Amino acid sequence: MSRRVDHAKASRAFIGDEPHIRFHDKRLWGLRELRDQAAHGIAEWEQLRALASQIKEHTLGNLAGYLEQFDRTARANGVVVHWAADAAEHNRIVHDLLAERGVDLLVKSKSMLTEECEMRPYLEARGIEVVETDLGERIQQLDGEMPSHIVVPAVHKLAADVAEVFADSIGTDRANADPHYLAEGMRQDTRPYFLRAGAGMTGCNFAVAETGTVVVCTNEGNADLSANLPPIHIASIGIEKLIPRLSDLAVFVRMLSRSALGSPITQYTSHFRAPREGGELHYVLVDNGRSARLAMDDFWYSLKCIRCGACMNTCPVYRRSGGLSYGGVYAGPIGAIINPTFDLKKYSALPFASTLNGSCSNVCPVKINIHEQIYKWRQIVAAQGHVGFVKRESMKLAGAVLGDPRRYRKLSETTGRAIAGLPRAFLYNPFNAWGKQRELPAAPKQTFHQWYAANRPSERVKPTVPCMAEPAAEPPQDQGETR
Amino acid sequence: MRIALFIPCFIDTFFPDVAIATLELLERLGCRVDYPPDQTCCGQPLGNSGCHDEARACETLFVQNFAGYDYIVAPSGSCVHHVRDHLSAAPDDDVTRQVRDRTYELVEFLHDVLGVRNFPWAEFPHRVGLHNSCGTLRRLGHASASELNGPAFSKPLALLAGVKGIEFATPSRPDECCGFGGTFCITEEPVSARMGYDKVRDHSAAGASYVVSADMSCLMHQRGCAERLGLPLRFIHIAQILNGARA
């Protein structure tokens, strides 16, 4: 049984580090600003969003047919197509391919799906070295951490942190935190792996059913090196990555990088369709819960996600808590709706790690109703009994009080006075979450209800019920109409 | 036109001045306003906590209290958002649907229904930062959201423009959430407080001496943060300014 993620606790640790949280917030907000400039620079942006959403919904609504078409065209192109029902099968397929060919080193360009399948530890336990080649992903690998963001995996680290990690692992100068120096150090370290690797692996941004093409969008070019230098290229593909036609790709290519980083396009948009001469190309199509999610009335829309990370960049909670605080492969708003589909109990806190502000839904290039799904998840988390005892009981009590005007009146008319009368030390203690970092509102002399009764005497107002400690003392027949 | 005043629970308890200003403002504008005395809460704290079943009695009571009115007006955008979009625990019948459709937040009622733009009795000679709460901005459509590519507009600014002497100070992140978020402010206290601190620092850096909003809950949170940080910001509900409060 997996441990429940405690987002609030993990975020407290992140927030405690002023230089890191300030940088993290500023850097990601900077991406959001660049995204705004890029999006607002295209007159038809909102139409593009609607179109992208429609294409994805259409594809998901006819997914079986498009998968069969993709499988067929890819095989005709000479690609070997594998199907994996879950993470274990994915890992076994990849391992068999490597083991049969005696491969002991795999170079890899970032793929969240292989993180989701926990492929790296699986292969490493079987004697196969796996080297991440994306700069951010490599930093995280060398530091023994998960990616904290789907586009900028090491965004929570300062350059000085990277200098530390690299000094310990690849021998760069600990005192030199210049990003260009560090990137060059990583480049020099990684090149030999590309040349020595027996196989290369990439993810997949878009899989085109019409042509059997896998499209990979990167900024560093390492996906091309991973795919082209070793004799075998394995592409790991989530089945939701399908789009019908090559012409549909234009819509998504226009939106992906603009949404992610504010740049018009990624540096490299690589199309892989057939094995190169003398080489092998394998596609592994992975379900791993996606079919089940497709069958969920409220949550299948999350399969439209193109992994741009815009929802993370704009999320004020993500920017203050860091991706690692979400405790799963997918962080931020998209993680809050995807992770519970894998393990509701483990990720039951994530739908509550949101203020429901809705900015995520507004930036989403495929118009996923993220914050509405977060709201829906909360209802399910509570209905399935995954909220704590104290919260559950206090909500039951609140529901009973708020559903009964007399009990509510008593409480509202004593709350103000109670706050005014309590000693400060009682209010500002570690058990009072409000008072830890915020002052309480001053207590007014009377409620609005009392004011209204006193100042609008001609109106018919329910008489004020005298303050009583125990609401159960009321005779039941007194409840209801009292005017 | 039968108008009912809905005063959310926390405004009734902690901010009666906001409720009084709302009532007086509507009366100044010629509205005859009823205050159904058995009202409590819209059910938002329960719904947002996922406690749909526990919200049933509260939401059913809400519908009973406000059934039959032409308009139900409240000085709280987030509560109106709940009523309109999430009040689903009460019986799903015509009465509930009417109550949901007829519930208005004060600013949109003034702006869209009454069409009022001038408040000749109002004068507020201060630099003011506007806080659009998230539900009000993005769900009720009070103003254009910065994420969307469309024409800019703001209903609260259109109303405040009718107040003498008022000046505006725009924060660098005008529609970033302040971190209140209902029960979020308790269950996710570390992030909530940090967001609040960042928000009030942003208002302060922009030169605001007051922060105004159509949502008192956000202001309660921001005021708590500003007081703890020792920032000289003051907080006021838009109903109070429009009703002629001077400071």
Q: CB–CB of A446 and B14 under 8 A?
A: no
Structure tokens at A363: 């930036």
SS3 A365: coil
On whether any CB of chain B is under 8 Å from the CB of A99, the answer is no
On whether any CB of chain B is under 8 Å from the CB of A402, the answer is yes
Q: Would you state the pLDDT for residue A434?
A: 87
Q: Residue A168 in contact with residue A144, Cβ under 8 Å?
A: no
Cross-strand bridge partners of residue B73: B5, B104
Q: How many angstroms separate the CA atoms of A238 and A329, rounded?
A: 14
Q: How many angstroms separate the CA atoms of B204 and A303, rounded?
A: 41
Q: Would you state the pLDDT for residue A470?
A: 34
Antiparallel, parallel or unpaired: β A206-208 and A213-218: antiparallel
Q: How many angstroms separate the CA atoms of B242 and B72, rounded?
A: 19
- Reading chain B (247 residues) residue by residue, the pLDDT tens digits are 899 999 999 999 999 999 999 999 999 999 999 999 999 999 999 999 999 999 999 999 999 999 999 999 999 999 999 999 999 999 999 999 999 999 999 999 999 999 999 999 999 999 999 999 999 999 999 999 999 999 999 999 999 999 999 999 999 999 999 999 998 999 999 999 999 999 999 999 999 999 999 999 999 999 999 999 999 999 999 999 999 999 7
Q: CB–CB of B221 and A438 under 8 A?
A: yes
Contacts of A378 in chain B (CB under 8 A): 48-50
* Statement: the pTM of the whole predicted model exceeds 0.80: yes
Q: A207, exposed or middle or buried, with CB in 10 Å at 0-12, 13-18, 19+?
A: buried
Residue appearing with tokens 């998960």: A146
Contacts of A316 in chain B (CB under 8 A): 176-177, 179, 195
What's the gap in Å between the CA of B119 and the closest CA on chain A? 24
Q: Chains A and B: how many Cβ contacts under 8 Å?
A: 228
Q: Would you say the C-alpha torsion B182, A438, B207, B235 has a positive or negative sign?
A: positive
Q: Residue B237 in contact with residue B219, Cβ under 8 Å?
A: yes
Q: How many angstroms separate the CA atoms of A156 and A148, rounded?
A: 7
- Distances from the Cα of B214 to the Cα of A88, A445, B39, B109, B238, angstroms: 52, 23, 20, 12, 6
On whether any CB of chain B is under 8 Å from the CB of A465, the answer is no
On whether any CB of chain B is under 8 Å from the CB of A416, the answer is yes
Residue positions counted in chain A: 483
Structure tokens at A35: 């995204």
Q: Which of B60, B173, B225 lies at the smallest CB-CB distance from A438?
A: B225
SS3 A226: helix
Using the CB atoms, write b or e for A39-64: b if 16+ within 10 Å: beeeeebeebbebbbebbbebbeebe
Contacts of B55 in chain A (CB under 8 A): 399
Q: Would you state the pLDDT for residue A206?
A: 98
Q: Which of A355, A405, A459 lies at the smallest CB-CB distance from B179?
A: A355
Nearest to A129 by CA among A47, A68, A198: A198
φ, ψ dihedrals at A132, nearest 5°: -70, 140
Q: How many angstroms separate the CA atoms of A462 and A460, rounded?
A: 7
Structure tokens at B68: 């039959």
Q: Would you state the pLDDT for residue A30?
A: 98
Nearest to A190 by CA among A161, A221, A217, A159: A221
Q: How many angstroms separate the CA atoms of A14 and B188, rounded?
A: 13
Antiparallel, parallel or unpaired: β A129-132 and A213-218: unpaired
Report the alpha-carbon angle A483-B56-A295, nearest 5: 160
What's the gap in Å between the CA of B183 and the closest CA on chain A? 9
Using the CB atoms, write b or e for A216-244: b if 16+ within 10 Å: bbbbbebbbbbbebbebbbbbbbbbbbbb
On whether any CB of chain B is under 8 Å from the CB of A312, the answer is no
Write the single-letter amino acid at A189: D
Q: Would you state the pLDDT for residue A482?
A: 33
Q: CB–CB of B53 and A383 under 8 A?
A: yes
Q: Which of B3, B7, B14 to mutate to test the interface with A (most CBs of A within 10 A)?
A: B14
Q: Would you state the pLDDT for residue A414?
A: 83
Using the CB atoms, write b or e for A265-276: b if 16+ within 10 Å: ebeebbebbebe
Q: Would you state the pLDDT for residue A435?
A: 87
Q: CB–CB of B56 and A434 under 8 A?
A: no
Q: A471, exposed or middle or buried, with CB in 10 Å at 0-12, 13-18, 19+?
A: middle
Contacts of B8 in chain A (CB under 8 A): none
Residue appearing with tokens 């018919």: A460
Q: How many angstroms separate the CA atoms of A325 and A332, rounded?
A: 9
Q: Residue B103 in contact with residue B6, Cβ under 8 Å?
A: yes
Q: CB–CB of A353 and B191 under 8 A?
A: yes
On whether any CB of chain B is under 8 Å from the CB of A15, the answer is yes
Q: Would you state the pLDDT for residue A423?
A: 56
- Distances from the Cα of A401 to the Cα of A398, B89, B160, angstroms: 5, 16, 37
Nearest to B49 by CA among A79, A323, A30, A375: A375
Q: Residue B136 in contact with residue B77, Cβ under 8 Å?
A: yes
On whether any CB of chain B is under 8 Å from the CB of A51, the answer is no
On whether any CB of chain B is under 8 Å from the CB of A408, the answer is yes
Q: Angle between the A246-260 and A45-61 helix axes, to the nearest 10 degrees?
A: 120
pLDDT-flagged residues of chain A (< 70): 1, 416-431, 457-483
What's the gap in Å between the CA of B220 and the closest CA on chain A? 7
Q: CB–CB of B147 and A36 under 8 A?
A: yes
Q: Which of A40, A320, A355 to mutate to test the interface with B (most CBs of B within 10 A)?
A: A355
Query: Which residues are CB-neighbours of B29 under 8 A, at least 6 positions away?
Result: B110, B114, B116
On whether any CB of chain B is under 8 Å from the CB of A114, the answer is no
What is the secondary structure of B88-132 as a DSSP string? -SS--SHHHHHHHHHEEEHHHIIIIII-----TT-B--SEEEEE-
Q: Would you state the pLDDT for residue A388?
A: 81
Q: Would you state the pLDDT for residue A52?
A: 98
Q: CB–CB of A15 and B190 under 8 A?
A: yes
